[in-house]
């Protein structure tokens, strides 16, 4: 039986890189999507190949339907099809709603909402029978933390899209779920935060630490694998019990 094939958007760093590593360890051939840093994507490819699978780096704007259509074309040509799509690509800008820059809002929503929609639409059309789509939300949708409003708005949209798409793909054997991480030690989370703020947030969960990218990758591995075939149309919170 040939290896299953996964596309990971934003797979060159942070949670995306941990997902690539874990799916490669699970035996998936992987397509590592990147937006601007091809060198990091190449490192992820090399690490996957060292695990004994095939891997390729593929670039493009997740919000550009032609670019993402070309990405799916390339992956299908290289590996023969697509079984799993994981949307980790995202942008987070924090500021109070009252003062939030609308240009920043447009940039963030282009990646988080339109990008997720474009890739989800392609996944709905092109995933093989028995496939899985995993989108990314955030635990902050339930925590109502100040300065996170615009980001949460984009991720709440992702949750709504995900849960409805799961119902729309009835009869295809394809699962559609979202993962909602809590505070996780990645550049996306750590950038712009003081040491004191990071320390405070690290104690918020009952487990009293920040999440690791590998913690979230374990959840994705579950949703992408055979043990989660009865998990569909759900948002799984990977946050150590916060909120």
Close Cβ partners of 153 (under 8 Å, ≥ 6 residues apart)? 109
Burial of 212 (0-12, 13-18, 19+ CB in 10 A): middle
Residue 225 dihedral angles phi and psi, to the nearest 5° = -100, 180
The one catalytic residue in 117, 148, 151, 237 is 151
87, 154, 77: which is closest to 123 by C-alpha? Answer: 87
Could you give the maximum distance between any two Cα atoms of the chain, in Å? 55
How many of the other CB atoms lie within 10 Å of CB of 10? 27
d(CA 51, CA 65): 31
Q: Decide if 151 is catalytic.
A: yes
**Cα(44)–Cα(99) distance, integer angstroms:** 38
Active-site positions read 151
């Amino acid at each position: 039986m040939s290896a299953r094939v996964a596309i990971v958007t934003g797979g060159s760093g942070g949670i995306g890189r941990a997902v690539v590593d874990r799916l490669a360890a699970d035996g998936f051939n992987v397509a590592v999507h990147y937006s601007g840093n091809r060198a990091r994507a190449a490192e992820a490819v090399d690490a996957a190949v060292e695990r004994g699978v095939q891997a390729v780096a593929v670039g493009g704007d997740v919000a550009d339907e032609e670019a993402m259509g070309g990405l799916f074309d390339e992956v299908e040509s290289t590996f023969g099809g697509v079984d799993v799509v994981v949307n980790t690509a995202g942008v987070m800008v924090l500021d109070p709603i009252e003062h939030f820059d609308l240009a920043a809002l447009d940039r963030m929503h282009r990646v988080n909402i339109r990008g997720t929609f474009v890739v989800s639409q392609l996944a709905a059309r092109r995933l093989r029978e028995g496939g899985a789509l995993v989108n990314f939300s955030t635990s902050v949708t339930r925590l109502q933390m100040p300065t996170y409003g615009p980001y949460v708005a984009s991720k709440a949209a992702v949750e709504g899209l995900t849960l409805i798409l799961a119902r729309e793909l009835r009869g295809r054997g394809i699962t559609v779920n979202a993962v909602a991480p809590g505070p996780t030690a990645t550049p996306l989370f750590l950038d712009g935060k003081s040491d004191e703020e990071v320390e405070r947030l690290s104690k918020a969960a009952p487990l009293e630490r920040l999440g690791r990218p590998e913690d979230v990758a374990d959840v994705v591995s579950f949703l992408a694998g055979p043990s989660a075939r009865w998990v569909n149309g759900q948002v799984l919170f990977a946050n150590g019990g916060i909120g």
